[in-house]
Homo-oligomer: A and B are copies of this chain.
Amino acid sequence: MTGHILALSGGVGGAKLAAGLCAVLPPEQLTIAVNTGDDFEHLGLTICPDLDSVTYALAGLNDTVRGWGVADETWQAMGMLSRLGGPDWFNLGDRDLGLHLTRAMHLRAGDTLSQVTAKLTAQLGITHRVVPMSDDPVRTQVQTDGGWLDFQHYFVREQCRPEVREVRFAGAAEAQPSPDLAEALSRPDLAAVVICPSNPWLSVDPILALPGIRDRIARLPVIAVSPLVGGTALKGPLAKLMAELGQPVSNPALAAHYGELLDHLVIDETDAADAALLRDAGLCATVTQTVMREAADREKLAQEVLALVGGVDRQG
C-alpha cells in the first residue's frame, strides 16, 4: 500500500488498532487523530483520556490487565486527596498524574494541545503522529432525565447508569481541526480513512462533528472496524447507548449511523451473519477476528484493514 492513512480513534479499543497500524506503517504514512470530546478540566489539570490511552498504548505503557491507564500504576495521590475530602470520583493514578501535571505545565506556558501532545509522545519514543482532533475545546455531553451531563460525569461518576436520549458536542461547530489533522486531510496522497473500533456515537462522532471533516472524508475510502463483537461491545456503554437511542445493537445499525460516509465495515467473525445484511445495504463487509488480545492480533487486523484500502471504491 502507498499513500497516507488517517486513522480516527477514541480510547482503549481504538488505541489497539492504532498500535497495530503503527506496527505496520512507517511514521510518514500515518496520522492518528484522536477524540478530545472526553477531555475535561479537573483539579486544575486538563485530562485527555483518549489521547492518553493512545499514547500509553503506543509507548507500551498501557495496563493490559486492567484494560485502561498505565501499567504499574498506584493510587496514592487519590488516596490522600480522598482522605482530605477532595473529589475522588475520577480515579487518577499516580503515574497518570505525572503526565497530567506535565501537560498542564505546557498548556499554562501557552502550548496548544497539539504542541503538548507532540512533546509528550516524542518523550515516550513514539515516532508516529498522534494528534488531537482539535486544539479547541469540544466537550461531549449526554442528555439524560437529569438534564445534560458532561461526559465524564456520565461515564465515570455515574458509571453510564443514566439513560441517554441525545448526544451533543459542545463547541464543535466553532472548533477547528488541529493543524496536523487539517494537514493530513489536505494531503493529495491521503489514501483512506480508518475508523478504529471506537464508539461511533461517543468517540468518533465528535471528530466528524468538526467543520469540514465529513465533506472531506466523504471523498475518500472510509473503512471502519466495528467495536461490536458477538452483538455487543467488549467494553464501555456502546450496546446500552445504542438501545437507548432506539437502535438495534447490530452492525447494520452501526453502519447506518455512519451512513454515506462509510464504504467498508470490518466485523468480527462472531458476527459473520451480519455480512450479508451489510452487503444488501450496499456496503463492503469483511469478516475477521477483530478482538485484539496481543500485539500479533493488532498487527494482523491492521494488515487486513490496509489490504482493503486499494479495493475500496467510493460509493456514489
Residues of A within 8 A of B (CB): 43-45, 70, 72-74, 76-87, 93-99, 101-102, 104-105, 108, 119-120, 123-124
Contact A76 B102 (CB under 8 A): no
Given A73-B76, A76-B73, A84 contacting B104 (CB threshold 8 A): no
The answer to whether B108 and A85 have CB atoms under 8 Å apart is no
A110 → chain B, closest Cβ, in Å?
14
Asked whether, in the complex, the Cβ of A86 is within 8 Å of the Cβ of B73, the reply is: no
Question: For residue A102, which residues in chain B have a CB less than 8 angstroms away from its CB?
Answer: 80-81, 84-86
Find chain B residues with CB under 8 A from A97 CB. 77, 80, 94, 97, 101
How distant is the Cα of A24 from the Cα of B53 in the complex, in angstroms?
52
In the complex, are the beta carbons of B44 and A84 less than 8 A apart? no
A74 to B83, CA, bound (A): 17
Known: A74-B76, A74-B94, A94-B94. A84 touches B99 (CB 8 A): yes
Complex alpha-carbon distance, A83 and B123, angstroms = 7
Contact of A44 with B104 in the complex, beta carbons under 8 Å = yes
Complex-state Cα separation, A95 to B78, whole angstroms: 8
Contacts A44-B101, A44-B104, A74-B94 known; list 13 others, CB within 8 Å.
A43-B101, A43-B105, A44-B44, A72-B76, A76-B76, A77-B77, A77-B101, A78-B98, A80-B97, A81-B98, A81-B101, A81-B102, A84-B119
Contact check, B104 vs A76: say whether CB atoms are below 8 A apart: no
Please give the distance in Å from A220's CB to the nearest CB on chain B: 34
Check if A98 sits within 8 Å of B79, measured CB to CB. Answer: yes
Min CB distance A175 to B, Å, is: 25
Contacts of A94 in B (CB 8 A): 74, 76-77, 80, 94, 97
12 sampled A-B residue pairs with Cβ under 8 A: A44-B45, A44-B101, A72-B76, A73-B76, A74-B74, A76-B76, A76-B94, A77-B95, A84-B98, A84-B102, A85-B102, A97-B97
B80, B95, B108: which contacts A44 (Cβ < 8 A)? Answer: B108
